[in-house]
A and B are shown apart, each in its own frame.
Chain A
């Protein structure tokens, strides 16, 4: 009986096996990279309608986060400041700056500036800024070193697993409420004990069940 397969068919099992493995990994990577939206990735840094520098305002000038984002302790949504907030200072300072032209236009016309949202959570995840800020989660814990960012980018993954890291062990992340807006905060040596103490006193019990956020 003549041979059905040519001799080089002996390579077929190895080639197909390796090909499937590499092809599979490549396919997963390609889908992962090209099919997921940009804002799911750390480092997502959309360009904003105004060349506003957090590094200048929050860093060099040392303005408190809550001067502009003044609702974080009360509201579940952290507010983006209105044009009026900008103009509190900028009707006196840098009144002729070209960079501030869109702000002045907005002030004159009454049409808000369309800032681009950086930190996205899925629609099915409910998140309250007030609840977290009041329990002692600092701004930089989730948003990173804003005071060093020229343009704000996403510093943490904001994935559910990332949320759960803190919800399971809040004592490793909390800080005193007066240090909420501090950037580059250094925890004291006994911070875990202090946090555990606070967690006991205030009954802080971050939920890890599904319906805590998905309802």
Chain B
């Protein structure tokens, strides 16, 4: 991380362990700040947003029913572009679903305590994005009622999935990722659900929350088991961060289509996934922290750190775009060279240059500190990045297929209204689920945030003598830094 020693504020920032929570908040304030959003009467604005999202869900269900009834032909997929928007959308959503586990597992293992304010929402986003992603391949199989054939279930036909196919690896990779993410999210939720339970007035609310908090009492023993479980799950989830999108990239890279058949795909896809995932977390949290008054928990410092991740991964992705061109030239393979030239100057050049502008150029603004800390700019860039990452998958999928080895079968892909409706509907489902999350679940990991406050340091009160000064405005810096 670049250190700029010139400004006084900066120097203070790096002196001791960073103060991750701004303002004068006691532990109880933090609990209140987060919990009361799940306890108060449903706000009208939430209802309004929820209605809009529900309309999206209705649209999604209608489009899927229409597709099931009429067959996959209602989509724009056809020869030569047999993989159209459904696969583009699948990869797009799975990519978004990457930030959650990165923030919760990888940053946890690297002891990045700033993750505590954002991990809950990011993990929820991950789960919902993966649900949205799974819709597309599920319905893309055509006969959705036999979708269980994708799983190796013993059957009277003695028929097995093709274990040599990356599409099957994808089934395993994504379903394992979903299961572990859900488990991880839930385990992290248990202490906070118990807090909500203890605050609940209504006996049924108490019981429901009591059921889901698994009898948590906050005993030392519970915490010890909890910390161990969390660490184990983080260890399990970390390789998944790399494996899921690597396997998704195999769907393309294992084939022999020019433009897909490249070894750079796995790292390039993983970087792209983290890139788009962080952008989506940014989009959601920039709004949520204002509406839910969480500016003291999700501070500008947090957002800046996320912007740095976006800058780094965006640059990796941009580097990969350029490397692909280099390798196409260097390979001296005519078809490979044509595939990439066709991307940049062919019929889909518009999509290619949208992708380049959004993914490679836009995040470069974050080299400037002032831009990294500008809320409107980071909100705009986060949306631009997500548009760009959708177009990346569009470019990879469509341009590589639309002109294959036989010029007689060249074509131009156009989506149908069902493609567009299903995609818009998937956003409806995503926001439907995310709004439910914001309404009923503590959206910040309360217990973890408390753990990284200076007061959580066993030696915090040593300097204060009286031991009753929780929430002192200027906690003394602790060079030993035991803030875990």
Contacts and interface: CB of A to CB of B under 8 A. Distances in A.
B7 to A, nearest CB: 50
A34 interface: no
Interface residues of A, number: 9
A159 B157 contact: yes
A164 B158 contact: yes
A1 B207 contact: no
State the main secondary structure of chain A at its contact with B: loop
Contacts of B210: 4-5
B206 A160 contact: no
A160 B159 contact: yes
B156 A159 contact: yes
A4 B206 contact: yes
A37 interface: no
Contact of A4 (B156, B158, B159, B197): B197
- Interface size of B as a range: 10 to 19
A4 B157 contact: no
Contacts of B332: none
Interface in A147-197: 157, 159-162, 164
B376 to A, nearest CB: 46
A176 to B, nearest CB: 28
Contact of B203 (A4, A160, A162): A4
A71 to B, nearest CB: 29
Interface in B157-197: 157-159, 197
A1 B206 CA distance: 12
B227 interface: no
Nearest to A158: B156
Interface in B113-172: 155-159
B29 interface: no
Given A157-B156, A160-B156, 15 more contacts: A1-B198, A4-B197, A4-B203, A4-B207, A4-B210, A5-B207, A5-B210, A159-B156, A159-B157, A160-B157, A160-B159, A161-B155, A161-B156, A161-B158, A164-B158
Interface of A: 1, 4-5, 157, 159-162, 164
Interface of B: 155-159, 197-198, 203, 206-207, 210
The 6 A-B residue pairs with the shortest CB-CB distance, nearest first, are: A161-B158, A160-B157, A159-B156, A4-B210, A4-B206, A161-B156
19 contacts: A1-B198, A4-B197, A4-B203, A4-B206, A4-B207, A5-B207, A5-B210, A157-B156, A159-B156, A159-B157, A160-B156, A160-B157, A160-B158, A161-B155, A161-B156, A161-B157, A161-B158, A162-B156, A164-B158
